[in-house]
Amino acid sequence: MKSLWAPWRMEYIRSSKSVGDSGCFLCVDKAEDEKALVIGRRGKAFVIMNKFPYANGHVMVVPARHVGRLEALTDEELLDMLGLVKICSALLTRELDAEGLNVGINMGRAAGAGLEEHIHIHMVPRWFGDTNFMPILGETKVISEHLQETYKKLRASFVNTNLHSKIE
């Protein structure tokens, strides 16, 4: 396999995998939102950048409470999460010119969940022609924009538009 240098990822690899007290990197205290790359919050849920994205702008919608199964969510948590999916759909389309979105939940290790203990909804922006020979022949993905730049753009959109009022 070929190597593609991405030195900005070393900071994350060397840092503690957890941000919250529970040892779960998705248990994020509001005071740590910027450090954890939280884009915005709504009620009992929030949106966070995926630090190991499948594509530029890959975000996750997460309940604030540490819970691992869909059926364990309260109706309020589920409604807040789906409201954020709706908002992020418009946000990713508008800010990143996404031509489509993959939206999904992986429950259980057999389904591909990397973190079974804290359920989350993946939202991955897609564009026509965004797949190429790199992942197939080079076993390498190319992310077109630095994670921090994408975060700043998406966070600013939450703060500077009417979407922000729906988050807080």
**Residues with catalytic roles:** 120
d(CA 116, CA 120): 9
Counting DSSP H helices and E strands in the chain, the numbers are: 6, 5
Contacts of 74 (CB under 8 A, 6+ apart): 44
Q: What is the dihedral of CA 112, 50, 87, 155, to 10 degrees?
A: 180
